[in-house]
Amino acid sequence: MTPTAPVPKPHVKTIATVCLSGTLDDKLVAAAHAGFDGIELFEPDLVASTSSPAEIRRRCQDLGLEIVLYQPFRDLDSTDPDQFARNLIRLDRKFDVMAELGVDLILVCSNASADAVADVDQLAAQLREAGDLASRRGTRIAYEALAWGREVDLWQQSWDAVRRADHPAVGLCLDSFHILSRSSTIDELAEVPGDKIFFLQLADAPHKDMDVLQWSRHYRLFPGEGAFDLVDFTASVLRAGYRGPLSLEVFNDVFRQSSPVRTAIDAVRSLGALEAGLDDALPRQRFDAAFVELSVTPTNLAVAESALSALGFTPSATHRSKRVTAWTQSAATILVTVTTDAPEDDSSAIAAIAFDAEDPTGFAASAEGLNVSALPRVVRPGEADLPAVAAPDGVSVFFVSTTSGGLDWRRDFDPVPGADGETGAGITGIDHVSVTAPFDRYDESVLFYRSVLGMRTDEVAEYPGPYGLVRSHLLRADPSGFGVALDGPLLRRGKWTPGVQTPQHVAFVTDDVIATLNALPPDAPILRIPANYYVDLRARLDLTDEFVESLREANVLYDRNAHGEYLHAYTTVIGSQVYFEIIERRGDYRGRPLADAPIRMAAHVAARRGKATTSG
């Protein structure tokens, strides 16, 4: 790579209308509201619109949106000269529309039909002829290799054709999905003159082992939400000299039916995070969980306090002006806040997670830069003014510091006399917090934790619950640090949903889970694990009868992999959706034993039904 002049910043940010749900006007309003500079106009959105091209042009001008690309034009080249001639007429008619729209760039994608031209010189000659037409009409052509093109399906082939066409009005369109889905290298981009890259389309995607066309049409994601390295990709394109917009083109089944305003805000955030990544400016702070805040209704307070007490927690401090108590055990702190603002009498919820970092204001600044709204707070004189933002999963995220007085949450609390904060039952800290992301905002939630907190996905999985499949991400900023797990239904739930709708839990860590459990009082609300589980465990793994029996007696689930072991127990559900987990990791077992999740879920159902039977 040769060094080039610095890239102008901030980049122009645009979005293809196909990314957003609704009518064309819904899409334009949403894109403008989110702060995009312009749009790629997806032809079917124009064709279905009741506004004329001239009206759309004016509407975009009024909204401050530039139309940077008209797309797509399919199947330009042809082995049949008559067909190619008809295709040029079709192209010319699109130039008429583009003139009315005031857009001078059209996306031509490689031919996926039976008459696609295989010979690169013939293809180049046809592109040159189209380029002549474009020049006469004052437009330009960005030629793109579809990953499923019949003859041209790699960007290198599209470049070969464009290079041979050697026409000022014919350049490349690079689309990250088409390139990264094929695992194509982009090293040769350094040989491509920057001004021959006419357009850059960005899309991320999860790994999928499926037909690439279906993968592309249904599962694309915004940069930072999937498994591709868009920072590296985009940096290569910019190093090659590309100076056009950073433009999003995402086909996604969920986004297609979600609020376009929300989706557009998520989309612009993904480009902000991408820019931060290009500048190496994503957060890299290490952090711990200062506290997790549990909000409970008055009727539920006693159950929550008794559960924490049974797990060895003690009240260590009380808030000076609010009904909040800090329950502490070693490095684990749970704030219990009484709320009267809950949907049900037995509601309990993880209301907040506080991240304890060296530079909390740095986190807050990067969140603001990503259009994450700060939460309004009422701060009384003398109280800590803690920066906080709302995560898409509904949890408030606080940025605090226990080393900087002004941002130390503890200054608002009075210590409970006599509380020593020592270990009660051996719990030493919080391993991770697990929350349920709303169906429409799952990918947005992943992006939030990755971009605002600099976390990375440690584990991505899918597991069967009794009432449907669940998808799951475990995110951490560093492999041994505090984690956030995002779970959510693979399909939006319908009416038949007898399980806990939006489970949340806090996973505590201990050095010896069986000793911890044995230290608990007999009425501790530990979830009973069915005997069948231990029979199967003994059949599956080479464990001694004594060890399996010790697990069974303590209601501990067990897993083992090549790196270590994972022993864990759960409480029953406190109120409507929250429970606790106690974890012991042996060796270097990362991630979570997700095969145990269905066991836990069925046991929670049984505990709930048993409770319903005994207490009505």
Residues that constitute the known binding site for Mg(2+): 432, 505, 581
Q: Which of the ranges 51-59, 228-236, 239-247, 370-378 carries the binding residues for its own copies, by CB under 8 A?
A: 51-59
Applying CB under 8 A, among 38, 53, 226, 426 the residue interacting with its own copies is 53
At position 168, the amino acid (one-letter code) is P
Could you say which DSSP state residue 344 is in? S
DSSP letter, residue 35: T
Residue closer to its own copies (CB basis): 96 or 166: 96
421 vs 438, which CB is nearer to its own copies? 438
Binds its own copies (CB under 8 A): choice among 4, 61, 257, 480: 257
Q: Which of 490, 519, 543, 548 binds its own copies (CB under 8 A)?
A: 490
Residue nearer to its own copies on the CB measure, 405 or 466 = 466
Please choose, from the candidates 410, 405, 370, the residue with its C-alpha nearest in 3D space to the C-alpha of residue 390: 370
Angle at 333 (CA atoms; ends 327, 323), nearest 5 degrees: 50
CA distance 198 to 109: 13
Q: Does 496 bind its own copies (CB under 8 A)?
A: yes
In the complex, the smallest distance separating the C-beta of residue 389 from its own copies, rounded to whole angstroms, is 23
Q: With binding defined as CB under 8 A, does residue 107 bind its own copies? A: no
Beta-bridge mates of residue 584: 567
Among 498, 521, 564, 587, binds its own copies (CB under 8 A): 498
Q: Which residue has the tokens 């990314």?
A: 19
Distance CA(320)–CA(291), nearest Å, equals 17
- Taking the complex as a whole, the smallest distance from the CB of residue 615 to its own copies amounts, in Å, to 18
Query: 9 or 495, CB closer to its own copies?
Result: 495
Is residue 497 part of the contact set for its own copies (CB under 8 A)?
A: yes
Q: x/- site string to its own copies, residues 304 to 323, per CB under 8 A?
A: --------------------
Of 315 and 468, which CB lies nearer to its own copies in the complex structure? 468
Task: Report in angstroms how near the CB of residue 123 gets to its own copies at its nearest.
Answer: 22
Cα angle value 261/266/272 (rounded, 5°): 130
- Total binding residues toward its own copies, as defined by CB under 8 A: 67
Q: Which stretch binds its own copies (CB under 8 A): 57-65, 166-174, 304-312, 495-503?
A: 495-503
Identity of the residue, 24 or 31, whose beta carbon is nearer to its own copies in the bound complex: 24
Residue 144 and residue 174 in contact, taking contact as beta carbons nearer than 8 Å? yes
Candidate residues 63, 125, 390, 602; the one interacting with its own copies per rule CB under 8 A: 602
Residue appearing with tokens 């290298």: 185
Q: What is the DSSP string of 57-85?
A: HHHHHHHT-EEEEEEEE-----SSHHHHH
Question: Which single residue is written with the structure tokens 């900087």?
Answer: 404
Q: Does 367 bind its own copies (CB under 8 A)?
A: no
Kind plus residue range of the DSSP H or E element containing 400: strand 396-400
Give the DSSP letter string of 299-322: HHHHHHHHHHHHTT-EEEEEESSS
Query: What residues are paired with 510 via a beta bridge?
Result: 427
Residue in the block written with tokens 């295989």: 118
- Among 430, 130, 434, 186, which Cα is nearest to 289's? 430
Q: Which stretch binds its own copies (CB under 8 A): 286-294, 360-368, 472-480, 492-500?
A: 492-500
**Options 533, 570, 579, 589; binder of its own copies; rule CB under 8 A:** 533
- Piece of the chain touching its own copies by CB under 8 A; list 8-16, 232-240, 462-470, 574-582: 462-470
Paired sense of beta strands 564-570 and 557-560, if any:
antiparallel
Stretch that binds its own copies, among 23-31, 199-207, 371-379, 399-407 (CB under 8 A): 23-31
Q: Does 80 contact its own copies by CB under 8 A?
A: no
Site for its own copies contains 603 (CB under 8 A): yes
CA-wise closest residue to 486 among 432, 557, 547: 432
What is the closest distance, in whole angstroms, from the C-beta atom of residue 82 to its own copies in the complex?
11
Does residue number 511 form part of the binding site for its own copies (CB under 8 A)?
A: no
Q: Does 46 bind its own copies (CB under 8 A)?
A: yes
* By the rule CB under 8 A, 67 interacts with its own copies: no
Q: Which of 14, 49, 434, 577 binds its own copies (CB under 8 A)?
A: 49
For 461, list phi and psi in degrees, rounded to 5: -155, 175
Structure tokens at 485: 């797990």
C-alpha distances out from residue 553 to 413, 547, 616, Å: 40, 10, 28
**Residue 415 three-state SS:** strand
540: three-class secondary structure by DSSP: helix
Annotated binding residues for a divalent metal cation, written as ranges, equal 144, 175, 201, 249
Q: In which residue are the tokens 């306090």 written?
A: 305
The H-or-E segment that residue 248 falls in is strand 246-248
- Give me the least distance between CB of 447 and its own copies, in Å please: 19
- The region of 192-200, 222-230, 254-262, 517-525 touching its own copies under the rule CB under 8 A is 254-262
Quote the least distance from Cβ 209 to its own copies, whole Å: 4
Of 271-279, 349-357, 368-376, 490-498, which segment contacts its own copies by CB under 8 A? 490-498
**What's the CA gap between 605 and 139, in Å, rounded?**
63
Tokens of 575: 């109120």
Out of 66, 318, 439, 560, name the contact with its own copies by CB under 8 A: 439
Q: How far is CA 575 from the centre of its chain?
A: 28
Q: Does 214 bind its own copies (CB under 8 A)?
A: yes
Which of these segments, 119-127, 256-264, 391-399, 577-585, binds its own copies (CB under 8 A)?
Answer: 256-264
Helix (H, G, I), strand (E, B) or coil at 335: strand
Q: Where are the alpha helices (DSSP H) in 407-498?
A: 442-452
Least Cα distance to 158 among 244, 250, 76, 94 occurs for 76
Tell whether residue 531 is a contact of its own copies (CB under 8 A). Answer: yes
Q: Which residues make up the interface to its own copies (CB under 8 A)? A: 21-24, 26, 43-44, 46-53, 86, 90, 93-94, 96-97, 209-211, 214, 218, 253-254, 256-259, 439-440, 464, 466-469, 489-498, 528, 530-533, 535-536, 538-540, 542, 598-599, 601-603, 605-606
